Structure 1
Amino acid sequence: MKHVLFAVLVLFTLTTGCRKIYPDGPAIKQVRNVSGFDKIEAGISGNIRFIQGPVSKVEVEAAENIQSYIITEVKGNKLIMKTQPNVNIRGGSVNIYITNPTLTGATLAGSGNIQFDSEIAANTLELKLSGSGNISMPALSANTLFSSITGSGNLSINGGTVTKQEILITGHGDYETRQMQSEESKINLTGSGSAKLWANSKLEVTITGSGDVWYLGSPTINTSITGSGKVRKL
């Protein structure tokens, strides 16, 4: 009985220990002293705006009284954006503006959005979406693109060229890159999300879920379909 009571008390503490913070006053911009990263990871309910530029700079725009609860730190080569543990920011808006010369990866794990405001150039780029927010990019120039969607958010790239792209969709978000040309595309779709892409030479599709793959181009197509999804030409 004592063990049960202790477990209940622990559970109560964990579920009620989150501190609610309400923004107060106008938003201000605060420059953060962080550098030496080429990957970004957002686990915050806010909007991330990224520009590939010559100088590294990170600015957080939010109400002054919540600035100290928004963490921006570099671990290894990754810029991590999150709120302090056991803190729930209620209402208001958080905008984080990032400029950096290079980018090799971006991860969105929260309900916010990552918006790229410039074309991205990279040798290899990895995009991971596991939250309910969206990742959008105007154009990409890369040798290899790795993308994964395990949440309900959408990932879109609206132009550019890549030599090869590999996509994994296990959630029900959508992948939209039909305006970005690729030579080779490989996709594994086990969820209910759909993909629209452009492949010129080779398209390899594995579907075990209910989502469809739509394609542009005239590639050689190899398929393995055990789910209800289909491969369709746009």
Structure 2
Amino acid sequence: MKTKILLPFLFLIVLSFGCNRTYTGQGPVVDEVREVGEFNRIVLNMEALVVVKDSLVHSCVVKAQGNIQEAIITRMDGNTLVITTKGQLITNEEIVIEISMNKEMAFEVNGSGKILSMNTFKNDELDFEINGSGVIEADVVANKITSNISGSGILDLSGSANSFNMQISGSGTVNSFNLVTLDAKASISGSGEAEVNAGKSLYAKVSGSGAVRYLGNPEISKDISGSGTVEKHVQ
């Protein structure tokens, strides 16, 4: 009876130790092709640069020092490609992950990672989410874009869209002067900043010391609580 109780306990200890293991990078950077299915969402849960290319084929290549490749996990969760680690990574070499995809997309960064699109993505709906200090940069053509930043993250968008609905909680930043939109909604709670290019309408809600700056001549509706501002950008 004691053995039956002790073995699961020891197994839990081994699992816990494995999750807390530190991997120190050594040697040259190598490319490792990962097996993936079709996906329309990328979730990045580690410090790495993810470079996304528009392609008919879905693929994933991890560029990192050989002895830490095993600690970089790429797994499918339904239609989502999740990128994470199974321990702590210490390396002087930037970890770069090259991804190809072609379906309606959504990007999510949790932590301090960065996602960069290399092509113009054309989709009906696009979604961007940052939790922490991560960065997303993308050039897009879409009907509807939604974004949510919690923390100090940065979202940098260019291209065009019919509507753009953004939310910022904290000190995050949305740089979208180069994203031409018809209708835009910006909601800021905290000290965040949003740069918007709207041609038809702009609804801005600011709670705190946040700021919304806009280009174009949209019809303005605003709700300000605190020392926040909504003002036209002077070029």
TM-score normalised per structure 1: 0.89
| Superposition map of 1:148-159 within 5 A | 148-157=148-157, 159=158
Identity %: 31
Look up the equivalent residue of 1:169 and give its one-letter code. Answer: I
Uncovered stretches (5+) of structure 1, i.e. residues with no partner: 1-13
Residue 176 of structure 1 aligns with which residue? 175
| Superposition map of 1:12-31 within 5 A | 18-31=20-33
Residue 5 of structure 1 aligns with which residue? none
Give the superposition deviation at 1:103: 3.5
| Superposition map of 1:137-156 within 5 A | 137=138, 139-156=139-156
Uncovered stretches (5+) of structure 2, i.e. residues with no partner: 1-15
Contact 2:109 2:134 in 1 (8 A): yes
Give the superposition deviation at 1:133: 2.0
Residue 228 of structure 2 aligns with which residue? 229
Look up the equivalent residue of 2:132 and give its one-letter code. Answer: G
Deviations 1:206-226 (A, max 9, x none): 111211100001111111111
Residue 196 of structure 2 aligns with which residue? 197
| Superposition map of 1:211-222 within 5 A | 211-222=210-221
Look up the equivalent residue of 2:182 and give its one-letter code. Answer: E
Give the superposition deviation at 1:20: 1.2
Residue 90 of structure 1 aligns with which residue? 90
SS at match of 1:208: strand
Give the superposition deviation at 1:56: 1.1
Larger fraction in strand: 2
Residue 6 of structure 1 aligns with which residue? none
Residue 74 of structure 1 aligns with which residue? 76
Residue 12 of structure 2 aligns with which residue? none
Deviations 1:153-175 (A, max 9, x none): 21101x31100010000020210
Look up the equivalent residue of 1:82 and give its one-letter code. Answer: T
Residue 115 of structure 1 aligns with which residue? 116
TM-score normalised per structure 2: 0.89
SS at match of 2:208: coil
Contact 2:104 2:124 in 1 (8 A): no
Look up the equivalent residue of 2:175 and give its one-letter code. Answer: E
Deviations 1:107-156 (A, max 9, x none): 0002111111111111101100112121111x210010001110212110
Partners in 2 of 1:104 and 1:50 — Cα distance? 11
Match of 2:60 among 58, 61, 67: 58
Partners in 2 of 1:70 and 1:45 — Cα distance? 11
Give the superposition deviation at 1:195: 0.5
Partners in 1 of 2:58 and 2:20 — Cα distance? 33
Runs of 4 or more consecutive aligned structure 1 residues displaced over 2 Å after TM superposition: none
Q: Is residue 137 of structure 2 the alignment partner of residue 136 of structure 1?
A: yes
Give the superposition deviation at 1:38: 0.5
Partners in 2 of 1:171 and 1:79 — Cα distance? 27
Look up the equivalent residue of 1:150 and give its one-letter code. Answer: S
